[in-house]
A and B are shown apart, each in its own frame.
Chain A
Amino acid sequence: MQELGKAELNATRIIRQDDNRVVIEKDLDTEYMVLSMGPQHPSTHGVLRLECITDGEVVVEAEPYLGYLHRCFEKYCEKLDYPSIVPYTDRMDYLAGMNTELAYCLGVEKLLDIEIPRRVEFIRVIVSELNRIASHLVAIGTYGIDLGAFTPFLFCFRDREHILNLLEWISGARMLYNYIWIGGLAYDVPPDFRKRVAEFVAYFRPKAVELQELLTENEIFVKRTKGVGIMPADVAINYAWSGPMLRGSGVKWDLRRNDPYSIYPELDFDVPVPDGKFSDIGDSLSRHLVRALEMTESLKIIEQCLDRMPEVDGFNSRALIPKKIRPKAGEVYARAENPRGEVGFYIVSDGKSTKPLRCKARSSCFVNLSAMKDLSKGQLIPDLVAIIGSIDIVLGEVDR
């Protein structure tokens, strides 16, 4: 759709056809209504505010407003020791704390240039993949709610509960773990860990299929999401999209494969990309589909890790944690594949202090959300909700 001037906008009517064609009728003078969607709205997933200019049910333009959850993460980092930043990273993406911790610790470890015990690497991958499943379950469940299906949401939360119990058992916390530390882990895993995670994997496999049948293959669900909010691959790349969003547009880009870290190169898993048979490539359904398929891939990763994880007698997960973290002067950018896309930390050290000179966080949700204005043009309000849901934002990470 071409750009319209303000005066022109006032005399133009945008009509969306059945086949998603946008037809513009000029010289039909209708009045526009400004609709403030959020920050207190059920489907803006937190405190996102969209200022929509609407023509009836059609959104002519939507402008996202951010910052309602801003907590000065980056400024705080300049006043904190390297290890004390870890709990703050949990609070960025509170649905995937382990993954964000991992990204931050990778950065500092790169800066310090230290070796990590192999068992620690395996545990880190297991917990972050568990957390990825938990995060995708929330994404899929709330997406169901956005489209009016309430039951899948509770099924998702029931299954997520098992993961949270496991992670609570390991770290003592359900969402804000502070478990992955620089150079090691807060605690080693409990003795029965392997057995209970294997039990969960066995339990979750059929549940993932059930979810697929209940939600993804539902006729109404497909009708609501197929062809809605199409993002072509080149535009997605220009917007610097990452994670399931970019893969939904058909780009096979996964940092676990393309810029491998930890022990991911040793593991065998696929990067699911929609093939365009069930969904139109780049639409909301593709993005949902990528998340649904990724959960099964994560299960594969967890199973392999459980098999290969070395048992070490008298293992101390804190043994290699440096007493005082004072990296050499320099800068580093470390990134990891989070459930919502690429999360990166750019850390600068001046070589004298135990605090970073600068710590910039690259938020996946913030970048993904930046395409909202483009995606929302000419959509109906229900489709706008479907698009926001498919972006799967966590406002804690958007605003930091």
Chain B
Amino acid sequence: MSQSPSLNTWSEALSGFYIGWLPLGLLIVAAVPLIFIALYALTYGVYGERKISAFMQDRLGPMEVGKWGILQTLADILKLLQKEDIVPTAADKFLFVIGPVIMFVGSFMAFVVLPYGPAFIGADLNVGLFYAIGIVSFEVVGILASGWGSNNKWALYGAIRSVAQIVSYEIPASIALLCGAMMAGTLSMQQFCVLQSGPYGFIHYYLFSNPIAWLPFLIYFIASLAENNRAPFDIPEAESELVAGFFTEYSGMKFAMFFLAEYGSMFMVSAIISIVFLGGWASPLPNIGGFALNEWTSGPVWGAFWIIMKAFFFIFVQMWLRWTLPRLRVDQLMFLCWKVLTPFAFIAFVLTAVWEIYK
């Protein structure tokens, strides 16, 4: 955080606040955003998905629990908590239990480096982006463990597909993010946002200030869909082919953990794409003459608002695609990754490098 001291003075001061041995200040700075996101991911992500899909399909969606069914997800969580925790007798017990945990941890550990506004960040690592990419790949281990440990043929198919897919799509996704890193000249997530904030609002975003940025932006968005197993790349859990893919045998809270991890990852990639290409917590509003809109809409709380809004927008697009498009076949998926996205990612990489040298 040394690179932006003025923004983080009070959060730094807060981090040093202890009550006895309890790091209360650190808890507020680091844990509160995480808890908020976890709560969001479980309740409002699921609720939003159900409502959005319902409106797209001429339905109402959940309407019974609470007004407009707003408490539906809480009711679902209670139901899942009450369920018996079943481990199939033929399953590999250790892998079966550890699978969802790894996935959950992998998904939520990446939240540490996401900056929610200039003040809130778990840890402003100087290799934040690299850390996020790395920790998300960790999920593959969880998927493989649960798919293999279930001792179910459908789960095994799902796990194999998933591993092949995620490992392949990490290449174009990482190269696309590398383009962003080249534009910023840093890997620190906080620094990305700082560099893209300025008096002219959205003009400073790389997507608008750099003529090449749209290419890595699109590549990363498509690849992130595949990394998250979202439609049209949801082949690891293709319910019409593989029943439920790698979590076929899971029920109760273990199933909920997969669910939570999925929505967590959705938020994560949406936040990363908005940080790298759309300025993260930087306000999009420009100063116009005497109206200092940018100054008025900046600050710790506004920052959290902007980044969450940007992330919500990308989550909405993900849902929109999911409820519109059919699913690709495995070989078509691999074709898209290796023969379309990866070459274009390299082209974007070279073009960005050239632009950064000669701009």
Show the binding face of A for B, using Cβ within 8 Å: 16, 18, 33, 35, 41-43, 57, 144-151, 154-155, 158, 214-215, 218, 220-221, 223-224, 380-383, 385
Contact = CB atoms under 8 A, between A and B. Distances in A.
B5 to A, nearest CB: 50
A35 B158 CA distance: 14
B285 interface: no
A42 B242 CA distance: 9
B29 interface: no
B240 interface: yes
Contact of B240 (A148, A214, A218, A220): A148
A163 B184 CA distance: 59
B84 interface: no
A18 B238 CA distance: 21
A215 B329 CA distance: 16
A151 B328 contact: no
A221 B325 CA distance: 8
Contacts of A380: 329-331
B89 interface: no
Given A57-B157, A148-B232, A42 B329 contact: no
Contact of B58 (A150, A155, A382): A155
Given A18-B335, A145-B240, A218-B325, 16 more contacts: A18-B331, A33-B153, A42-B239, A42-B240, A57-B330, A146-B240, A147-B326, A148-B232, A148-B325, A149-B324, A149-B327, A154-B58, A155-B58, A224-B328, A380-B330, A383-B329
B317 interface: no
A154 B329 contact: no
Contacts of B325: 148-149, 218, 220
Nearest to A56: B160
Nearest to A43: B240
A385 B326 CA distance: 13
B209 interface: no
Contacts of A224: 326-329, 332
B323 to A, nearest CB: 5
Contacts of B56: 151
Contacts of B157: 57, 381
Contacts of A158: 58
A223 B323 CA distance: 18
B326 A148 contact: yes
Contacts of B59: 154
**Across chains A and B, which 4 residue pairs bring their CB atoms closest together, nearest first?**
A148-B327, A149-B326, A154-B57, A43-B240
Most buried by A among B161, B232, B241: B241
A151 B58 CA distance: 9
B249 to A, nearest CB: 14
Given A148-B240, A220-B232, A155 B57 contact: yes
A43 B324 CA distance: 19
Given A155-B57, A381-B157, A381-B241, A144 B329 contact: no
Given A220-B232, A224-B329, A385 B240 contact: yes
Interface in B154-199: 157, 161
A220 B335 CA distance: 13
A150 B324 CA distance: 7
Contacts of B242: 381
Contacts of A57: 157, 161, 330
B352 to A, nearest CB: 29
B326 A218 contact: yes
Interface of B: 53, 56-59, 153, 157, 161, 231-232, 234-235, 238-243, 323-332, 335
Given A41-B243, A42-B239, A148-B240, A382 B326 contact: no
A381 to B, nearest CB: 6
A145 B326 CA distance: 8
Given A147-B240, A148-B240, A382 B232 contact: no
14 contacts: A149-B326, A150-B53, A150-B323, A151-B324, A155-B57, A155-B58, A223-B329, A224-B328, A380-B331, A381-B157, A381-B242, A382-B235, A383-B329, A385-B240
B330 A382 contact: yes
A104 to B, nearest CB: 33
Nearest to A382: B329
Contacts of B332: 223-224
B326 A221 contact: yes
A319 B128 CA distance: 84
Contacts of B234: 148
B37 to A, nearest CB: 27
Contacts of A381: 157, 241-242
Nearest to B58: A158
A149 B232 CA distance: 9
B159 to A, nearest CB: 13
Contact of A35 (B153, B329, B335): B153
B330 A42 contact: no
A380 B53 CA distance: 30
B34 to A, nearest CB: 32
Nearest to B244: A42
Most buried by B among A151, A155, A383: A151
Contacts of B323: 150-151
A381 B329 CA distance: 9
* Central interface residue in B234, B238, B240, B323, by most chain A CB within 10 Å: B240
B326 A144 contact: yes
A140 to B, nearest CB: 12
A382 to B, nearest CB: 5
Nearest to B322: A150
A381 B238 CA distance: 11
B231 A151 contact: no
Contacts of A144: 326
Contacts of B238: 148, 382
Nearest to B56: A151
A45 to B, nearest CB: 10
Nearest to B238: A148
B153 A220 contact: no
Contacts of A218: 325-326
B247 to A, nearest CB: 14
A377 B330 CA distance: 18
A311 B191 CA distance: 80
Report which residue of B153, B238, B242, B329 has the largest number of chain A beta carbons within 10 angstroms of its beta carbon: B329
Nearest to A41: B243
A220 B222 CA distance: 15
A147 B153 contact: no
Given A218-B326, A220-B232, A43 B57 contact: no
